[in-house]
Structure 1
Amino acid sequence: MNFIKPFHIIIVGLVIACGIFKEAAVAPMQFLNNDTRKTSEKPVFVEDFTLHSDKYLSIAFKLEKPLLESLKALAPKLSQEELLDKGNFQFSFFVDNQLIYQENLNKGAGTIDAKITQLEYTILLIYPERLDFWGWFMWLRFMKMGGGRDALDTGRHKLTIEVKPYVKDDTLMVGESLAKGSLTMNVEELPYDKSLVPIQEIAPKSGWKISNDTFNKQKITALNKKIAQGRFEHINGIVVVKNGELLIEQYFNNSHRDSLHDPRSVGKTIASTITGIAIEEGYIKDENATLNGFYNLKAYQNYTPKKDSVTIKSLLTMSSGFIGDDEDYSNIGNEELMYPTDNWVEFALDLPMSSSEIGAKYRYFTAGVVVLGDILHQAVPHGLEKYADDKLFHPLGITNYKWEYTPQKVPNTAGGIRLRAIDFAKYGQLYKNGGAWHGKQILSKEWVEKSLSKQIKQPYGDETYYGYLFWNKTYTVNGKRYEVSYCSGNGGNKIFVFKDIPVVIIITASGYGLPYMHADIDKIITDYVLPVIL
């Protein structure tokens, strides 16, 4: 749950004499500040551009030979088909001579004919409306995900863009510069509502004891300003609990304490909680219980005896072995193919099994969590909804919430539950307390430890792991590492439970479908919230 065109840059005197493969000079780029989609318009070449005010930005350059020829020089043993599959342009974005972002265009950026024959390029980067065009998306990734917004802060900057050829075979091979140019980028301060900058006082009747701890208020007001300016988009709520007491509670973008927020896949983790309670009360033997104890799997398509061995644990750790991967839009088990069907459990159980051993390989698989919810609905008395209210929400004092449902009217554990941000904080604090709330053990300490632990390695980095529908990672602030387990949902929604510091942080956000939201939340945590409270 992924995401940028060449350009024309006028730079006086910019013709760099270094050679490309000893035969081609670096092409100068020019920047254009008019709508290059309108072919009738005369090009407007510029040396200065005002970000947030000027509407259009394109770059243009002329190569001495088509891109394919540069790719051949990099990997002469590869066929033309292989080169077009494994190679393309590499774009580098520099701000004030510092490399900020680099992107190797995927094979779908640009047509095959262009790569074989084209010499002249005009690539649109900034446009007042969303475009289905790789150049527009590349600029978006540079700005939103690649550090561009922070590098291009208020003032004057030198923006340089460089284009090289690359081929990614066994190793990444990058050629000499094909085109390069620079532009003066003027960045105006974005207008914002100044009333949103001061720290919001915590309103009475929160249900929490209010913390008397001091914290760096300047950092929080700086964060509030960034939210007001739209630097951190679509943030709805920030709640910080320290030592079990409410330290910060703030709302933005027309949200307030009583807003029921849609956290998307944050809601998956509640299925893990109910599973732990159901095991403790004996309604499910343990997490090693298998699917064949709940379903006649031979009645579903693509049956194989391997399906009989799929465990609840493998559903909790996204390692069931079903061919289902929400991060691969072409995958037959992708959740977007499940939602239009009239039976989501049947969709999941009809899927074939992969060659991976059950419990061995992580693949984000929403349909598997739907199956888990259906198992719970079968196993607990009076169904999942009443059981969750009796055993989790009521003991936590959570009365204002709303489920969504599957086509079979089962609570949707794919992520279909809405709570208040301050009640998500109760849920996070429950785990921080080892499963206890106000002296009562709601969830066993053993289940909490299993849930938050590193059950399976994820493919996102050296220190990314998954527990029982909990994510795990490590933040580094001022050279010190902080381990955290967290719930995560589309749009930037998070419940952070830190391991070695007495802190729970909730961020609710509604940037659904925007790939940079998770990176924005990471920056909020490392640059603002953690430095404030540590």
Structure 2
Amino acid sequence: MLQQTIPPLDLRSCLVSVRGELIYEHYRNQQAATHIAKINSCTKSVLSALICIAMDHGWLSKAPTPISTFFPQLVSDPDSRKPEITLEQLLTMTAGFNWDEFGGQNSFPRMTRTDHWVKFALEQQLSHVPGTYMEYNSGVSQILSAILMQSTGMSVAEFAERYLFGPLGIQNYEWESDPQGVHTGGFGLKMLPQDLLKFGQLFLQQGMWNGQSLISIDLVSRSTKPAITVTPPNHGSYAWHWWVDAYTNETSEAKVAEQPTPILHYYYARGFGGQFVYIVPDLELVAVLTNDKRKKEKPPLDVFPKRIAPQLAKLL
């Protein structure tokens, strides 16, 4: 099935495993298999996993904790709602900040040109009541990265090596930092496709790896459960720095009804330019797709929901 579908798309890589066994592996070339590459916003889901680990160990306080616990200066902010923003609202992108991710005065490119990214993100005004509206925002990911560093007393990469990358056998990676030495929470991680597959497999196995619990079942479940419906052009819901969606067979009779019946539920990490890690619990399946924009070509969109999920749905 995938042998006919995937190669013509010219992806950098496509890996699919079922019950922990690799059933399909495609690389554009040998370099794609052996060289780390940017995973862009898939970094957010890795950060989410690290936050869960820190919560499990008790180093980081629970999800309802207000961010003024970590940034006491927010108590004197003119907007009394800001110090009450919770960790969970940061994780679900519902903090309420006025933010335009890819352009304008309050965007992640502008943040990266400042000399203090976390300060820039925290200084943004609120345009929504916290907890009510999802606004995609790499600034809140940077805030979370700083909170993780503050709570554990070590850099985010060091924490990852000790409690996530090390146990998973992930050695080959690079992770960018901001001017304060805080590793980038929303992007900036480079990894190998097969290591992304391990990361997805850890979640499929509900946080278990080689008989050891790296993340509690409770937090694996909570962090990947729909928290808020997203606005178009996005589909589905957002969780703790994970996307959640379902494949619906829109050609079936269900299309006549108002809502097509979901056939295949999944959650996924998503990075700009075609980086994805999909977890499909019902099929015990993990799929990794990576791409790079060569010669300004746009990568094919929706490869998983449009090309792979319809084939998988037939297996149910």
Report the TM-score when normalising by structure 2.
0.89
> Helix, strand or coil: the match of 2:41?
helix
Q: Which has the higher helix share?
A: 2
Equivalent residue letter for 1:313: E
> Helix, strand or coil: the match of 2:288?
strand
Structure 2 residue corresponding to 1:287, chosen from 60, 63, 74: 63
Q: Distance in 1 between matches of 2:223 and 2:298?
A: 26
> Helix, strand or coil: the match of 1:447?
helix
The answer for the alignment partner of 1:405 in structure 2 is: 177
Q: Distance in 1 between matches of 2:228 and 2:136?
A: 12
Pairing 1:316–2:91 present: yes
Say if 1:263 and 1:514 are closer, same or farther in 2 by CA, change over 3 A.
farther
The answer for the alignment partner of 1:420 in structure 2 is: 192
The answer for the alignment partner of 1:464 in structure 2 is: 236
Say if 1:381 and 1:532 are closer, same or farther in 2 by CA, change over 3 A.
farther
Equivalent residues, number = 305
Q: Distance in 2 between matches of 1:222 and 1:405?
A: 38
The answer for the alignment partner of 2:26 in structure 1 is: 250
> Helix, strand or coil: the match of 2:55?
helix
Stretches of structure 2 that go unaligned for 5 or more consecutive residues are 253-261
The answer for the alignment partner of 2:157 in structure 1 is: 385
The answer for the alignment partner of 1:509 in structure 2 is: 291
Deviation at 1:461, TM superposition (A): 7.0
The answer for the alignment partner of 2:266 in structure 1 is: 484
> Helix, strand or coil: the match of 1:481?
strand
The answer for the alignment partner of 1:146 in structure 2 is: none
The answer for the alignment partner of 1:338 in structure 2 is: 111
Q: Which has the larger radius of gyration?
A: 1
Following superposition of structure 1 onto structure 2, how do residues 35-54 of structure 1 map, counting pairs within 5 Å?
Answer: none
Q: Distance in 2 between matches of 1:514 and 1:483?
A: 30
> Helix, strand or coil: the match of 2:301?
helix
Answer yes or no: is the 8 Å Cα contact 1:497–1:505 preserved in 2.
yes
Equivalent residue letter for 2:60: I
> Helix, strand or coil: the match of 1:525?
helix
Answer yes or no: is the 8 Å Cα contact 2:90–2:140 preserved in 1.
yes
Deviation at 1:379, TM superposition (A): 0.6
Deviation at 1:373, TM superposition (A): 0.3
Q: Distance in 1 between matches of 2:5 and 2:22?
A: 20
The answer for the alignment partner of 1:220 in structure 2 is: 3
Answer yes or no: is the 8 Å Cα contact 2:291–2:299 preserved in 1.
no
Q: Distance in 1 between matches of 2:315 and 2:171?
A: 30
Q: Distance in 1 between matches of 2:290 and 2:6?
A: 15
Answer yes or no: is the 8 Å Cα contact 2:263–2:313 preserved in 1.
no
The answer for the alignment partner of 2:79 in structure 1 is: 304
Answer yes or no: is the 8 Å Cα contact 1:291–1:310 preserved in 2.
yes
Structure 2 residue corresponding to 1:266, chosen from 19, 29, 42: 42
Say if 1:532 and 1:285 are closer, same or farther in 2 by CA, change over 3 A.
same
Answer yes or no: is the 8 Å Cα contact 2:264–2:313 preserved in 1.
no
Pairing 1:518–2:291 present: no
Answer yes or no: is the 8 Å Cα contact 2:173–2:189 preserved in 1.
yes
Deviation at 1:333, TM superposition (A): 2.2
Q: Distance in 1 between matches of 2:245 and 2:101?
A: 20
Say if 1:339 and 1:251 are closer, same or farther in 2 by CA, change over 3 A.
same
Say if 1:222 and 1:360 are closer, same or farther in 2 by CA, change over 3 A.
closer
Q: Distance in 2 between matches of 1:299 and 1:514?
A: 47
Answer yes or no: is the 8 Å Cα contact 1:297–1:349 preserved in 2.
no
The answer for the alignment partner of 2:138 in structure 1 is: 366
Following superposition of structure 1 onto structure 2, how do residues 8-19 of structure 1 map, counting pairs within 5 Å?
Answer: none
> Helix, strand or coil: the match of 2:32?
coil
Q: Distance in 1 between matches of 2:37 and 2:272?
A: 12
The answer for the alignment partner of 1:11 in structure 2 is: none
> Helix, strand or coil: the match of 2:38?
coil
The answer for the alignment partner of 1:493 in structure 2 is: 275
Answer yes or no: is the 8 Å Cα contact 1:271–1:373 preserved in 2.
yes
Q: Distance in 2 between matches of 1:344 and 1:501?
A: 40
Deviation at 1:533, TM superposition (A): 6.8
Q: Distance in 2 between matches of 1:499 and 1:526?
A: 13
The answer for the alignment partner of 2:167 in structure 1 is: 395
Pairing 1:353–2:126 present: yes
Pairing 1:239–2:15 present: yes
Q: Distance in 2 between matches of 1:481 and 1:415?
A: 31
Deviation readout 1:208-229 (Å, 9 max, x if unpaired): xxxxxxxx4xx413532x1xxx
Q: Distance in 2 between matches of 1:271 and 1:462?
A: 21
> Helix, strand or coil: the match of 2:232?
coil
Answer yes or no: is the 8 Å Cα contact 2:74–2:82 preserved in 1.
no
Following superposition of structure 1 onto structure 2, how do residues 138-217 of structure 1 map, counting pairs within 5 Å?
Answer: 216=1
Answer yes or no: is the 8 Å Cα contact 2:204–2:286 preserved in 1.
yes
Q: Distance in 1 between matches of 2:74 and 2:237?
A: 33
Deviation at 1:413, TM superposition (A): 1.1
Structure 1 residue corresponding to 2:247, chosen from 475, 480, 490: 475
Deviation at 1:334, TM superposition (A): 1.6
Q: Distance in 2 between matches of 1:462 and 1:492?
A: 15
> Helix, strand or coil: the match of 2:129?
coil
> Helix, strand or coil: the match of 1:305?
coil
Answer yes or no: is the 8 Å Cα contact 2:117–2:178 preserved in 1.
yes
Deviation at 1:258, TM superposition (A): 1.7
Stretches of structure 1 that go unaligned for 5 or more consecutive residues are 1-215, 227-231
Deviates more, 1:289-298 or 1:460-469: 460-469
Equivalent residue letter for 1:270: V
Q: Distance in 2 between matches of 1:337 and 1:287?
A: 28
Say if 1:463 and 1:420 are closer, same or farther in 2 by CA, change over 3 A.
closer
Equivalent residue letter for 1:287: A
Answer yes or no: is the 8 Å Cα contact 1:297–1:303 preserved in 2.
no
Structure possessing the higher relative contact order (Cα contacts under 8 Å, 6 or more residues apart): 2
Deviation at 1:511, TM superposition (A): 2.8
Report the TM-score when normalising by structure 1.
0.54
